[in-house]
Structure 1
Amino acid sequence: MNISSSTPYLSPVPSKTTALNSQQKQQLRKPDHAISLLQNCKNPKDLIQLHTLLIKTSLIKEKYAFGRLLLSFASFDNLGSLNYAQKLFDTADIPRNSFMYTTMIKAYANFGNPREAFAFYSRMLCDQHYVYPNDFTFTYVFSACSKFNGVFEGKQAHAQMIKFPFEFGVHSWNSLLDFYGKVGEVGIVVRRVFDKIEGPDVVSWNCLINGYVKSGDLDEARRLFDEMPERDVVSWTIMLVGYADAGFLSEASCLFDEMPKRNLVSWSALIKGYIQIGCYSKALELFKEMQVAKVKMDEVIVTTLLSACARLGALDQGRWLHMYIDKHGIKVDAHLSTALIDMYSKCGRIDMAWKVFQETGDKKVFVWSSMIGGLAMHSFGEKAIELFAKMIECGIEPSEITYINILAACTHSGLVDVGLQIFNRMVENQKPKPRMEHYGCIVDLLGRAGLLYDAFRVVETMPVKADPAIWRALLSACKLHRNVELGEQVGRILIKMEPQNDMNYVLFSNVYAAVNRWDISGKLRREMKVRGMQKNPGCSSIELNGAVHEFVSRDHSHPQSQVIYELLHLLTNHMVQEDHEPMMTIMAENRGIR
């Protein structure tokens, strides 16, 4: 923007003896041209030129012009403009008013340092010209306090707001409600603030309900929700998120069906809720409904859906999501890359997982960990070790998950010596400190390799008491290598630790079954029945034409179960004729014959 300094920006002021005609009165009412230009500045460079012009014309000494210039600089979302606004504020030779202070508080709360925003609020209270907050000051003060978790500072501002001799608008009180909700002061505290509001609006009610949801009092939150004079999509979503996060998916689903209008947060909350309780198929059903409703997805819900695809092995739907990312230009950050790598790895496409990894620009530690875990899953142990070494060369410090994945890679590939070296490196560096899961990996590594007594010594000499999962890993190794002597010792320890866990009895009985000790194996099975325990059936899933079908042993829930069992019956008869006894036994068990 090129501005000539010769342009007349100041209208001539008539003398006291000159009569004002209508044209002169109109000119006096018009804002100066330089001030009008402030509204049209598109970049800081133009503003700096206007600042120079305001200084030359002495308009900088007028509060309105100065305030507009300050606001313009503070509105740009970059640190350089904010620093310029700070210098402008500090060097002003006119008394500052509430508008100027609020402008700086807002700028620092939204774009810069929220602590600095509160510092400006403190400066305002100490200003020698007795500057009082305006109707929007506390909105940004409480916003700043919630961002840096300034509980004490926010409560101070709350007390000062009450002591001021004038009333503030409902938006200031709503900001206070939001502050208490974000810093964890919910429930009764939020209710007391709400009761002081004259004419609370829908935002006030939403803040109140959200406070009770965060405190875990869903009954009171629902009662208030039902009492609301007016609801918006946020009101419905707050209750939906509360139910979903608490695991009450039936209530969340009913609320979702009743919603007059849904947004992305509503869909995301319900999908995330089903994934948290392991209902991955239901989550993908909702995903299909989202497609029909043409809801535009963001990276957060795509990441969540990819985790469901990974759990179910739903490759077709996972690939569709990947194409959706590319088609809609969704930014692939480290979290989304990790979800894609995990999905492709668990769906059997390690080649696609590797391609995503190679294309990821910002490879954070969890991206490396996910790729190492994928290689471990597919028994590419040596490749995983190479990647682990490259990660360290790049200066990335391995995390706890990284060590779990690399140790699993060594386990699945039988690389005992390398696995022990990596574990010893972790023990020596104590970065991170070995946890129960890492010792479990070592026990599994040694056990699968047949070094059962070495694994037993690791369990006994661990710095922490071994949990049942570690003992189960050792018992599984005893079954694998048919070591009944050690298996008996481990099995008794495990049942003593968890006498009501059916998995322990099944695993222990399988140790005897592996060496044809059917009498003891049967005795353990009978003991399970006496204790009222029943083996949980395993679950399998298959993806066909984009739909995921789940099956458990002796399952009749599938709509085509009759056809499936008829085919199994034909296959069983065929195997009997061909004398495929082992396979026939398995088929019979699946049909519920034995």
Structure 2
Amino acid sequence: MIISTTPKPLTNLKFQEKSRPKKRDTAISLLQVHSLLIKTSLIHEKYAFGRLILRYASTDVNYTRKLFDTVSFPRNAFIYNTMIRAYLKCGNARDAFLVYVQMVCEEECVLYPDDFTFTFVFAACSKLLGVFEGKQAHAQMVKCPVKFGTHSWNSLMDFYVKSGEMVSVVQRVFDGIENPDIVSWNSLLDGYVKSGRVDECTRVFDEMPCRDTVSWTMMLVGCVNAGLLSEARYVFDEMPERNVVSWSAMISGYVKDGCWKEALGLFKEMQVVGVLADKVMLTSVLSACASLGALDQGCWIHSYIDKHGIEVDAHLSTALVDMYSKCGRVEVALDVFWRAPDKKVFLWNSILGGLAMHSRGKEALTLFSEMLDGQIIPNEITFICVLAACSHSGLVDDGLRIFHSLVKESDITPTVEHYGCVVDILSRAGLLKDARQFINTMPMEANGSIWRTLLGSCKLYGDFELGMEVGRILIELEPLNDANYVLMSNIYAIGNRWDDVGTLRRIMKARGVRKSPGCSSIELDGVVHEFIAGDSLHPQSQDICELLDKLARQFSVTQKDELYHFLLSCQLES
């Protein structure tokens, strides 16, 4: 007799899939267990009832509460903890804390919280932003005869950090812990990071007996928030292990400090090591692309988003719209805007600002009307964007109408920026006297930006007398701003008052005011090249200058005269 040694499958795949319990089957089984407990009177046994209510808590919090209220015997800490946790899990922090209050006020028996109770209670207080309630729970925790473990005190520290309490309170709680663990140290470090005390962050970081990725990332964030980018980069380079939060924090720090090239370079390094970017990081990187005009890299990031199926929320949509607008692709920006599923007010502001930037005022006004028809409430930035669109497109009447609606019909109090937009609208249209009169009627003092707007238009339209008046006001208001002297020298040049130009240069020298060098950038083959006036550090600067010389030799006599006058004006501005 030949016996086969090949094992036969007991069940096939289809049978296995069918035999998997469904949610409905699980619910039926739970009801059957519940019925069995009632029939056998085991429902009155605390352990069995506690396990039953624990199972219900993960599916139906309302039915769990009914069971909790109808219990016929004194509840123990486990039952209360289960109810508190059930409310906390479904986002109802208020009822979670009220269950804890009911636990403390239990009349049938003296009931003390156990080692898990305050973990849930302080989490509820954090979500409620209930500082007073959390302090009450802290006092009860101190008075309670039960000795609580480290994780309960860690939850208290976390509550104080999230509620914005003074870090000295967090330090006192930490000092009272017998055996602080890595979570305790991280909570203390987080408190000092959020309070902006970098020196204390360094002290705690150096004293830590051991560090994990969270510890290193917190120290990195502390340096970034304090603007210490070189120290932050040192921490970043020394990290034994980096996660997406670490990369995002370093990139965001570069972007906030205007180090856009460094941000894009670090993002490329991250791609090499294979770390998948998240929405927060991509928003920062797109901001760097927008500031540099790096369209190719911005388009690549957009493809990266589509390729990895990253959810494009309102913030990421806003970053894409801003990037495409600043890189000159306003049509693509409009396409991204219309495809965005969640159009929040800041997304509307971004596309309105993009249309304003490209002098498409009529489209901006049409879009603004659609925004109002869609019940989107505009904010201060919205009106600034719309007024700027009117200014760049010469829509004087529309701009004044919108400004008057802002003053009379909206709940927004106009700021100096709104008044500055109106001055810009009038000045660009050549209505210099009206702009000057409008400044006189402003309810607040005009700042340097408003006076500079008017002075620039005086130069454009050749109004020497008004330019002299505004220039004197501006230099008196901001005596150390180099841009004011440049504009004023241009006004003197209009009136052929070259002696005054020389006097102005001597005043600048005496006051220690130096003109900031001009800066420009261009993206070529995915690489951003930056040029600063008077700087020859670029590796191809000699080739660039030779090419400019060749172009200059090809100019006609008339073009050479125009170039001469252009260079003369540049010399005056420098």
Give the TM-score normalised by structure 2: 0.91
Does 2:310 match 1:327?
Answer: no
Are 2:251 and 2:266, in contact at CA under 8 Å, matched by a contact in 1?
A: yes
Instruction: Give the match for residue 74 of structure 1.
Output: 57
Are 1:407 and 1:441, in contact at CA under 8 Å, matched by a contact in 2?
A: yes
Residue identity matched to 1:171: H
Which segment drifts farther, 338-347 or 157-166?
A: 157-166
Partner Cα distance (2:361, 2:140) in 1: 63
Partner Cα distance (1:121, 1:41) in 2: 35
Deviation at 1:219, TM superposition (A): 0.8
Are 2:471 and 2:484, in contact at CA under 8 Å, matched by a contact in 1?
A: yes
Deviation at 1:591, TM superposition (A): 12
Partner Cα distance (1:89, 1:518) in 2: 90
Deviation at 1:221, TM superposition (A): 1.4
Are 1:212 and 1:221, in contact at CA under 8 Å, matched by a contact in 2?
A: yes
Are 1:568 and 1:591, in contact at CA under 8 Å, matched by a contact in 2?
A: no
Does 2:76 match 1:94?
Answer: no
Are 2:224 and 2:249, in contact at CA under 8 Å, matched by a contact in 1?
A: yes
Instruction: Give the match for residue 394 of structure 2.
Output: 414
How many residues align? The count is 550
Which segment drifts farther, 521-530 or 411-420?
A: 521-530
Deviation at 1:45, TM superposition (A): 7.5
Partner Cα distance (2:22, 2:77) in 1: 26
Q: How does 1:99-498 map to 2 (within 5 A)?
A: 99-128=78-107, 129-498=109-478
Give the direction of change, closer, same or farther, for the CA distance of 1:512–1:414 in structure 2 (3 Å limit): same
Deviation at 1:213, TM superposition (A): 1.9
Deviation at 1:63, TM superposition (A): 2.5
Deviation at 1:106, TM superposition (A): 2.1
- For structure 1, the residue ranges without an aligned partner over 5 or more in a row are 1-39
Are 1:576 and 1:584, in contact at CA under 8 Å, matched by a contact in 2?
A: no
Instruction: Give the match for residue 64 of structure 1.
Output: 47
Partner Cα distance (1:144, 1:42) in 2: 32
Partner Cα distance (1:426, 1:508) in 2: 34
Instruction: Give the match for residue 15 of structure 1.
Output: none
Aligned to 2:74, the other structure's residue is in SS state coil
Partner Cα distance (1:287, 1:211) in 2: 29
Partner Cα distance (1:139, 1:301) in 2: 32
Deviation at 1:489, TM superposition (A): 1.3
Encode CA deviations 1:386-417: one digit per residue, 9 max, x unaligned: 11111111111211111111111111110000
Give the direction of change, closer, same or farther, for the CA distance of 1:43–1:272 in structure 2 (3 Å limit): same
Partner Cα distance (1:70, 1:560) in 2: 74
Instruction: Give the match for residue 530 of structure 1.
Output: 510
Deviation at 1:445, TM superposition (A): 0.3
Encode CA deviations 1:526-569: one digit per residue, 9 max, x unaligned: 31122111111121111111111111111223222232233233
Deviation at 1:69, TM superposition (A): 2.8
Instruction: Give the match for residue 9 of structure 2.
Output: none
Give the direction of change, closer, same or farther, for the CA distance of 1:292–1:590 in structure 2 (3 Å limit): farther
Aligned to 1:133, the other structure's residue is in SS state coil
Give the direction of change, closer, same or farther, for the CA distance of 1:413–1:591 in structure 2 (3 Å limit): closer
Instruction: Give the match for residue 15 of structure 2.
Output: none
Partner Cα distance (1:345, 1:402) in 2: 16
Partner Cα distance (2:419, 2:165) in 1: 40
Deviation at 1:107, TM superposition (A): 2.8
Instruction: Give the match for residue 498 of structure 2.
Output: 518
Which segment drifts farther, 559-568 or 236-245?
A: 559-568
Deviation at 1:95, TM superposition (A): 2.5
Are 2:94 and 2:124, in contact at CA under 8 Å, matched by a contact in 1?
A: yes
Which segment drifts farther, 452-461 or 519-528?
A: 519-528
Are 1:554 and 1:591, in contact at CA under 8 Å, matched by a contact in 2?
A: no
Encode CA deviations 1:147-168: one digit per residue, 9 max, x unaligned: 2211111111111111111211
Are 1:298 and 1:330, in contact at CA under 8 Å, matched by a contact in 2?
A: yes
Deviation at 1:276, TM superposition (A): 1.1
Give the TM-score normalised by structure 1: 0.88
Deviation at 1:83, TM superposition (A): 2.4
Partner Cα distance (2:235, 2:540) in 1: 31
Partner Cα distance (2:98, 2:351) in 1: 46
Are 1:104 and 1:117, in contact at CA under 8 Å, matched by a contact in 2?
A: yes
Encode CA deviations 1:306-333: one digit per residue, 9 max, x unaligned: 1111111111111111111111111111
Instruction: Give the match for residue 6 of structure 1.
Output: none
Partner Cα distance (1:127, 1:252) in 2: 52
Are 1:310 and 1:344, in contact at CA under 8 Å, matched by a contact in 2?
A: yes
Give the direction of change, closer, same or farther, for the CA distance of 1:293–1:587 in structure 2 (3 Å limit): farther
Percent identity (aligned): 59
Aligned to 1:580, the other structure's residue is in SS state helix
Are 1:47 and 1:73, in contact at CA under 8 Å, matched by a contact in 2?
A: no
Deviation at 1:518, TM superposition (A): 2.8
Partner Cα distance (2:245, 2:526) in 1: 25
Give the direction of change, closer, same or farther, for the CA distance of 1:208–1:41 in structure 2 (3 Å limit): farther
Are 1:299 and 1:336, in contact at CA under 8 Å, matched by a contact in 2?
A: yes
Are 1:572 and 1:588, in contact at CA under 8 Å, matched by a contact in 2?
A: no
Which segment drifts farther, 97-106 or 310-319?
A: 97-106
Residue identity matched to 2:384: I
Aligned to 1:408, the other structure's residue is in SS state helix
Encode CA deviations 1:449-470: one digit per residue, 9 max, x unaligned: 0111111122111112222111
Give the direction of change, closer, same or farther, for the CA distance of 1:97–1:42 in structure 2 (3 Å limit): farther
Are 1:174 and 1:203, in contact at CA under 8 Å, matched by a contact in 2?
A: yes
Deviation at 1:86, TM superposition (A): 2.2
Give the direction of change, closer, same or farther, for the CA distance of 1:86–1:428 in structure 2 (3 Å limit): same
Partner Cα distance (2:68, 2:369) in 1: 53
Give the direction of change, closer, same or farther, for the CA distance of 1:331–1:102 in structure 2 (3 Å limit): same
Give the direction of change, closer, same or farther, for the CA distance of 1:127–1:464 in structure 2 (3 Å limit): same
Are 1:303 and 1:335, in contact at CA under 8 Å, matched by a contact in 2?
A: yes
